[in-house]
Amino acid sequence: MQNILDKIDWQKVNGLLPVIVQENSTNEVLMMAFMDEKALELTLKTKKAHYFSRTKQRIWEKGESSGNYQIVKDLFIDCDNDTILIKVEQMGGVACHTGRKSCFFTKLESDEVVSEPKEEATKNYSVLDKLYHELMERKNADPKTSYTASLLHKGENSYLKKIVEEAGEFCFAIKDDDKKEIVYEAADLVYHCLIPLIDKNIHPDQIKDELKRRFGMSGIEEKNSRNK
């Protein structure tokens, strides 16, 4: 284990090693991801693929949400010692969060989608996670046909104004004591709050992790800690 780790110049790759993932039985390219040193150590130790998520800012085990784990069969390092290729047995036959076998399903020049997702493959994802990824896909869509793309295209002032507007409508719904309207406006507010997270490449899991960090800490204690 130590030999392969010693070959990698982590400073050269800024601490994140590009990883190409192939299906062991067919050599089909399934995805591309990144590993930091700890994720690679976990992968070598457990023989299950672990990656470092740049949006979640943490190590994640492939399949931890979906159940579509990757069993590592072989690892290769390239001639420059700055990229690795891993061959895996893809459990569930799905590597992509969209429910497709491979993350590479859209032709660049024609925008043609060459494979359809398996709906059952995403059933274990949370609603928030599904929504985040769906909105990420719309990030570069045509602003004329996608509301999400139009908000992002117009820039920060536009989507921040919408957050203030939706927060106001949420507050009015509470004042009116209309439970149905409160839920409706809260959903609108959550959606519009996801837009800047998408723009800044911040996954909602980072918000969840921050909330978890505050468990067992009083609100006064948490606020005082910000001033230190």
Whether 56 and 120 share a structural domain:
yes
Whether 73 and 143 share a structural domain:
no
Whether 14 and 78 share a structural domain:
yes
From the list 219, 217, 193, 189, the residue with the least C-alpha distance to 204 is: 193
Residue 74, Cβ density class (10 Å: 0-12 exposed, 13-18 middle, ≥19 buried):
exposed
In the prediction, which pLDDT does 117 show?
Answer: 74
Whether 150 and 171 share a structural domain:
yes
Question: Which residues, 6+ apart, have CB-to-CB distance to 11 below 8 Å?
Answer: none
Q: 210 is in which domain, residue-wise?
A: 132-214
Whether 80 and 185 share a structural domain:
no
CATH number at residue 177: 1.10.287.1080
Whether 40 and 78 share a structural domain:
yes
Phi-psi region for residue 12, left (φ > 0), alpha (ψ -120 to 50) or beta?
A: alpha
Whether 181 and 151 share a structural domain:
yes
In the prediction, which pLDDT does 65 show?
Answer: 82
Domain boundary among 97, 125, 153: 125
- Amino acid identity of residue 39, one-letter, is A
Whether 149 and 172 share a structural domain:
yes
Q: What are phi and psi of 22, to 5 degrees?
A: -120, 150
Total number of residues shown for the chain = 228
In the prediction, which pLDDT does 133 show?
Answer: 82
Question: Which residues, 6+ apart, have CB-to-CB distance to 15 below 8 Å?
Answer: 36, 37
**pLDDT tens digit at each of 228 positions of the chain:** 556 778 888 888 999 999 999 999 999 999 999 999 999 999 999 999 999 998 888 999 999 888 889 999 999 999 998 999 999 999 988 998 888 899 998 888 887 888 887 766 666 677 888 888 888 888 888 899 999 999 999 999 999 999 999 999 999 999 999 999 999 999 999 999 999 999 998 888 889 888 888 887 776 676 667 665
Element spanning 35, H or E: strand 29-35
**Between β-strands 84-90 and 70-77, what pairing exists: parallel, antiparallel or unpaired?**
antiparallel
